[in-house]
Amino acid sequence: MFDLFDALTLARAQFAFTVSAHIIFPAFTIGLASYLAVLEGLWLWTRDGRYMQVFAYWKTIFAVVFGMGVVSGIVMSYQFGTNWSVFSDKTGPILGPLMGYEVLSAFFLEAGFLGVMLFGEKRVGEKLHFFATLMVAVGTLFSAFWILSVNSWMQTPAGYGVNEVGQFVPTDWWAAVFNPSFPYRFVHMVLAAYLTTAFVVGGVGAWHLLRDRDNRGARLMFSMAMWMALVVAPLQVLAGDMHGLNTLEHQPAKIAAMEGHWETRQGAPLILFGLPDDEAEETRYALEVPHLGSLILTHEWNGEVRGLKAWPKDERPPSAVVFWSFRVMVALGFAMVGLGLWSAVLRLRGRLYASPWLHAAAVVMAPAGFAAVLAGWVTTEVGRQPWTVYGLLTTAQSSSPLDAAAVGASLLAFILVYFAVFGAGTFYVLRLMARPPGAKVAEDQGPLRAAGITPGPAMAAPGPRRAE
C-alpha cells in the first residue's frame, strides 16, 4: 500500500516528525507560563520568598524551552505551504484567518512581553513585571485556543461551503471556530498541558527531596504539583470521557479503531488488550469485558457501537496504532490519578515530604505528561486518516505536487537538525533541573553540591527580586 519513498509518505513522515517534536514544547510552556504567573502572583500577595525562589528557578527553564518551541513552531507555520499546498489552497479561506488570529492575538503577545518578563526585572516595577508574566501566560492560552480550533475544524468541519474552484469558504464563522469537537479538544489539551507541567515540576521537586527533604523550594514545587495531580488528573479523565462521546458522534470510525471493534454490536464489550489486524479484520487475542464498551461509550448497557467493517476498507484508520496509542494515553492518565490520590493520603498523614517511595514514583512519572500528550495526538491524528478534512478531503489529495527527493532531503535535514539542536536543549534543561532550588549555581559548572550534604542555611530564602 505504501511506497516508503513516495513523496506523499515522506511528506506525512515529515509532518508527523516535526509536529511531534513541536507539541512537546507547547505542552510544557502552556502549563509553565501559567505556573510562573501563579508563583509571581502569590509572591506579590504573600511576600513569601519561596515563591520568588521557585519562580526564578523555572523562569530560566521556561526561557530555554520557549525558545525551542518558537523555532519549531515557525517550521510548522511554513510546512502547510511547502508540503501541503493543495490543502493550503483549499482550506486557506477558513483555516488561514484562524491561524492569523493566533499570530495576532497570541504570538505577538507572548513575544512582546517575553523580553520584559525575562530581562526587564530591574527596568520595570514589580507590578508591571507581573503583568508581563501574565500576558505571556494568556498568550500561550490564546495560542492553544486558535490552534485547537483549527485542528478541530479539520476533524469536525462546520460553517463552510465549497466554491467553484473547490475551496472551502466560510458561511458562518461562529460555527467554524466553535465547531462541534472544539470545546472538548481545547479543554482536553489545556488540562494535558497543565498536567504535563505539574508532573515535570513534581518530578524535579521529588528528585531534590530525595536528596534533601528539607529543601524549601523543592517542598513547594512538590506540594503544588501534587495538588494539581489530585485535582486536575480526575478532571482530565472526565474531560477525556466527554471528548470520547463527542468523537463517537462525529468520528465513529476513529472510535471503532480505538476500541478494536470490527463488527457493529449492541452491548459491545470493552477490549482491554488485543492485537488489531487490518488484514484479517479482527482483533486477535482480545481480552474483553462484556458490555463495558457500550456502557463507557454510549452510557447504556446495550448501546450500539459501530465496528470498522461498517466503513469501506479505504476509509478506515490503521487500527493497531490507534488502539495502542489510546491505551498508552489512558494508562498514563490513570497512573496520574493514582499518584495524586497517593500524595493526598500521605499529605493527610503529614508524610508528604517524608516518603521516598512517593518521591521516587513522582520522579519516574515526571515525563508521563509528554508521553500521554504524544499518545493522545497519535490517537486523534492517525485516527482521522485517511482524511485531512474529515469526510471531505483526503490526505492523498492534500499534498503539494512534490518531488520525493526534495521532501526526502528536507525530512533528513529536519531529523538531523532537530536531534542535534533539541537534543542539546534537552540536555541543558535537564542540567538546569539538576540544580537544587535556591542554590546559587553557575550554570555551566554543573551542580555545585554533592547529594545529601547540603548545609541548611544555604537554603535560606533569597531576598526579594534577587537575580539568578
Partner 1 sequence: MELDLPFIWAALIAFSVLAYVVLDGFDLGIGILFPLIGEGRDRSVAMNSVAPVWDGNETWLVLGGGGLFAVFPLAYATILPALYAPLIAMLIGLIFRGVSFEFRHRTRRGRFLWDWGFAGGSLLAAFAQGITLGALVQGIEVADRAYAGGWWDWLTPFSLLTGVALVFGYALLGATWLVMKTEGRLQRRATDFAWVSAVATLILIAVVSLATPFLNPAFLERWFAWPTMIFSLVVPALVAACAWMLFSGLTDHRPLRPFLAALGLFTLCYAGIGISFYPYIVPPSITIWQAAAPDASLAFLLVGAAVLIPIILLYTGYAYWVFRGKVDPEEGYHQDHP
Residues 27-86 within binding reach of partner 1 (CB under 8 A): 63-64, 67-68, 70-75, 77-78, 80-82, 85-86
95 lines the binding site for partner 1 (CB under 8 A): yes
311 lines the binding site for partner 1 (CB under 8 A): no
180 lines the binding site for partner 1 (CB under 8 A): no
463 lines the binding site for partner 1 (CB under 8 A): no
- Cell readout for 379 is 490517537
447 lines the binding site for partner 1 (CB under 8 A): no
Q: Please pick, from the candidates 163, 266, 351, 460, the single residue that binds partner 1 as defined by CB under 8 A.
A: 163
* # of chain residues touching partner 1 (CB under 8 A): 80
Residues 401-420 within binding reach of partner 1 (CB under 8 A): 401-403, 405-406, 410, 413-414, 417
- Please state the closest distance from residue 444 (CB atom) to partner 1, in A: 4
Can you tell me the distance from the alpha carbon of 242 to that of 183, in angstroms, rounded to the nearest whole number?
A: 10
Q: Which conformational region is residue 446 in: left (phi greater than 0), alpha (psi within -120 to 50 degrees), or beta? A: left
Using CA of residue 370, residue 372, residue 373, residue 378, what is the dihedral sign?
positive
388 lines the binding site for partner 1 (CB under 8 A): no
| 360 versus 424: smaller Cβ distance to partner 1 | 424
| 103 versus 360: smaller Cβ distance to partner 1 | 103
| 345 versus 424: smaller Cβ distance to partner 1 | 424
Q: Please pick, from the candidates 103, 345, 434, 460, the single residue that binds partner 1 as defined by CB under 8 A.
A: 103
- Please state the closest distance from residue 165 (CB atom) to partner 1, in A: 7
Residues 117-156 within binding reach of partner 1 (CB under 8 A): 118-124
- Please state the closest distance from residue 173 (CB atom) to partner 1, in A: 5
- Please state the closest distance from residue 423 (CB atom) to partner 1, in A: 11
| 401 versus 452: smaller Cβ distance to partner 1 | 401
